Structure 1
Amino acid sequence: MTSSILDEAYERVRHTGPERNGWLSNHAPMAVEALVHRGHEQAVHRWIDGYADRLEERPRGIRPIPGDEWRDPLGDPVRTGDWLNYFDRELAGEPWREVLVRWWPRLLPGIAAGATHGVIRVGHAMRALLDEETQPRVAELGQGLAYWAARWQPLARPGAGPYPTTDARSALDAVPRVPDQRSGIRARLAQLADLTQWPSVAGAVPGNDSDDVPTRLAGIVDAAVVRHGTHGYASPVMLVHAATAPNAVLRALPALPQTLWAPSLAAAWAATAAVTAAYAPAEARRAPPAGTDLSLDEVMRRATDTGDAHAIKFVDAVSDTYTRSGDPALLAIAAQSVEQIATD
């Protein structure tokens, strides 16, 4: 029953575009996957009904992208329809794992695509596919890859190093802020190249070199989740992506060869550091006090009731962190973040 609800939801939004109003991401596929995965499948169709006025039709293609001429249209949102058609063809002709492994290293340098929503959408599709392989889930993976390709955006490159590694929370605290925080994310990320500290910060991937990549990635996610409790007030929605972007990469690892794990870790950290630099405030606030009457189900219900996909996706990420640590303070952070996002 759960799998059929997710596939029904994917079918409901299959003919919608990855964006609306020219740049705002379509969050429906990501939110419904999170709801189903967390046991709130009964809310899925009601949530889509409430989100329907924010969906636009799938864009038409301009001209087909030849298989060996993909570099030029990469990062061109005008070709979004062409990219959607391209990945429809790719996944109709090959197993999805082969398509993913070929395209992951091509797309990874542009992890900032769509304010990191490209990789996040792929990560949700990957979790669904690894749980059960169905045609609607394969199609959703293709749409996520197409969105990533159309909005492909590289970040300022890290320095050559070597740089000492540290724990993820300390690394986040060391991220410098971009000087002009009045503009949209593309303008903010463009300022990273002018920050003298950026190359060393982006190159100093947190974690112990003796730990495996999944452990280090989980540490980045966990640190970003906790930090949202003290810094998220400044930009509750945008700072969610500091946690959900690396979490998307973490979810994709099981389908990737281990040769791609290290560059995936580096790109995920760069994305988290970039979002932090672009939106974090100069000062922290006191973390919310841990409550005793909260549960993950209740917090997810609150998130669903707001109708905001970012609230749902952040609680989804908090759930992963809570599974690893069991720290009740995380429930208070999740509840506070849902309230902040709802009023942002």
Structure 2
Amino acid sequence: MAGGILNEAYERFHRTGPEWGEDQLTNHGPMAVEVLVRRGHADRVDGWVAGYLRRLDELPGRTGEIGEANWAEALGDGRRVGDWAAFFARRLAEEPWRRVLAVWWARLLPGVLAGTTHGVIRVGHVVRALLAGAESPATLTELAHGLAFWAARSRAVPMAGDPGGALDPHLAMDALPRVPEQVGNVASRLGQLSGLPGWEATVTGLRPAATPEEIRTRLADLVAAATLRYLSHGHGSPVLLVHTATAPNAVLHALPALPQELWAPSLTAIWTTTAAIFSGYAPPEPAPAETLPAAPSGSDPVADVLDRAVAHGDEHVIKFTDTAAEVYTRTGHPGALAASLHAAALIGP
């Protein structure tokens, strides 16, 4: 039943584009409904989708053909998202989805900032559904649309090099410098990273991961660090800073579908991207502790925060709460659940 609800929701969203409005805001619908279904709120999907669809634009039409001979020149061209969607639909009809994902994850990884990381997040959510056994025409089309968005909006961040220091993700995030001018759009903020004192040293100061299990652990720790720092720093940019947690979480959950030789590059790319967003948007000083919410104290605090997120209705709150609940389940840290309540307070319903 739940799989049918997810498939139907995906089909409704596949008539829409990955962005909407003059400001090119991201269509979060497919990502949020995957969370609603997986978290036991399938009964809320139809009404939520009906309300969300009202704001969206149609999927842009095709302008030409993308193939193996010319895909590189179409990379990062947002006008060609319809062409990319058609290209990936063909590829997924011809080959198993894991093979297509492996080839294109490697090709798209350098541009993982795409859509302020929404490309990889959208892919990560549908990969979770596929790994759970929900393979269907609708989920494969959703994978095609997620990869198309990532390809069409491909954007790189200044790379600092591979991790080679002694810092765990918590200490590394605390040590990150801030860009001099935390104003303007993503490009203007991240454009200040080159030459920023301490930037490269801190990013490469992350402790390296030598084995697949260490890579998985380092990513999980990064998700936890970003979630907890949303509680203290999320007020600086309530929406943008959500992605410092949800983007590495998307990569973490995609790992089982990827060849292990892609795991270490994925860690480096998403850590660098997370660090860049944090440096660009997190204020230098944390919020006063007395102004922050406490975690719920009931018998099932995870269910509590998830219910509150669903009632709140905002797509960022739903996705971030899903990630925060995972962090709490792994670590037992109440600050993760408090961070989800803080997001709901900072982001309007």
Give the TM-score taking structure 1 as reference length: 0.95
Match of 1:213 among 212, 215, 229: 215
1:107 shift after superposition: 0.4
**Aligned residue in 2 for 1:158:** 160
- Indicate if the aligned counterparts of 1:28 and 1:309 stay in contact, CA closer than 8 A: yes
Alignment partner, residue 281 of structure 2: 279
Which one of the candidate residues 138, 152, 165 is aligned to 1:136? Answer: 138
Provide the rounded CA distance (Å) in 2 between the counterparts of 1:219 and 1:175.
16
CA distance in structure 2 between the aligned counterparts of 1:165 and 1:8, rounded to whole angstroms: 47
Residues 1:316 and 2:322 are matched in the alignment: yes
1:46 is displaced (CA, Å) by 1.1
Range moving further from structure 2, 172-181 or 142-151: 172-181
The answer as to 2:335 corresponding to 1:334 is: no
Contact 1:207 1:219 (C-alpha < 8 Å) held by counterparts: no
Counterparts of residues 234-245 of structure 1 (less than 5 Å): 234-245=236-247
5+ residue gaps, structure 2: none
Deviation of residue 80 (structure 1)?
1.3
Q: Which residue of 1 aligns with 2:229?
A: 227
Query: CA 1:79–1:174 in structure 2 vs 1: closer, same or farther (change >3 Å)?
Result: same
Shift of 1:159: 4.1
Shift of the 290–28 alpha-carbon distance from structure 1 to 2, 3 Å rule, reads closer
Residues 112 and 156 in structure 2, CA contact (< 8 A), matched pair in contact too: yes
- Following TM superposition, where does structure 1 have runs of at least 4 consecutive aligned residues deviating by more than 4 angstroms? 206-211
Distance 1:289 1:9 in 2: 34
The answer as to whether partners of 1:167 and 1:207 remain within 8 angstroms in 2 is no
**Corresponding residue for 1:299?**
305
Secondary structure of the residue aligned to 1:288 is coil
1:122 deviates by: 0.4
Distance 1:291 1:159 in 2: 40
> Do residues 247 (structure 1) and 262 (structure 2) align?
no
1:1-344 equivalent positions in 2, closer than 5 A? 1-22=1-22, 23-132=24-133, 133-159=135-161, 163-206=164-207, 209=210, 212-285=214-287, 286=289, 287-293=292-298, 295-342=301-348
- CA shift, 1:207, in A, is 6.1
Per the TM alignment, residue 208 of structure 1 is displaced from its structure 2 partner at its CA by 5.9
Residues 221-272 of structure 1, C-alpha deviations (whole Å, 9 max, x = no match)? 0110111111111111110000011001001100111111100111111121
| TM-score, with structure 2 as normaliser | 0.93
**Cα distance between partner residues in 2 of 1:176 and 1:17:** 36
Q: Secondary structure at the match of 2:89?
A: helix
Contact 1:114-1:151 within 8 A present in 2 as well: yes
For 1:152-206, what per-residue CA distance to the aligned partner results, in whole angstroms no more than 9, with x for missing partners? 001102147x741311111001111112222111221222223132222232334
What secondary structure is seen at the aligned counterpart in 2 of 1:248?
helix
Task: Please give the alpha-carbon distance, in whole angstroms, between the structure 2 residues aligned to 1:203 and 1:71.
Answer: 29
8 Å CA contact retained: 2:296, 2:337: yes
Structure 1 counterpart SS, 2:327: helix
Task: Give the whole-Å Cα distance in 2 for the aligned partners of 1:100 and 1:227.
Answer: 31
Is the Cα contact below 8 Å between 2:13 and 2:53 reproduced in 1?
A: no
- The 8 Å contact of residues 166 and 205 in structure 2, kept in 1 or not, is answered as yes
Q: Which moved more, 1:289-298 or 1:186-195?
A: 289-298
Q: For residue 92 of structure 1, report the CA deviation from its aligned partner.
A: 1.3
Structure 1 vs Structure 2 CA RMSD? 1.7
Deviates most, 74-83 or 186-195: 186-195
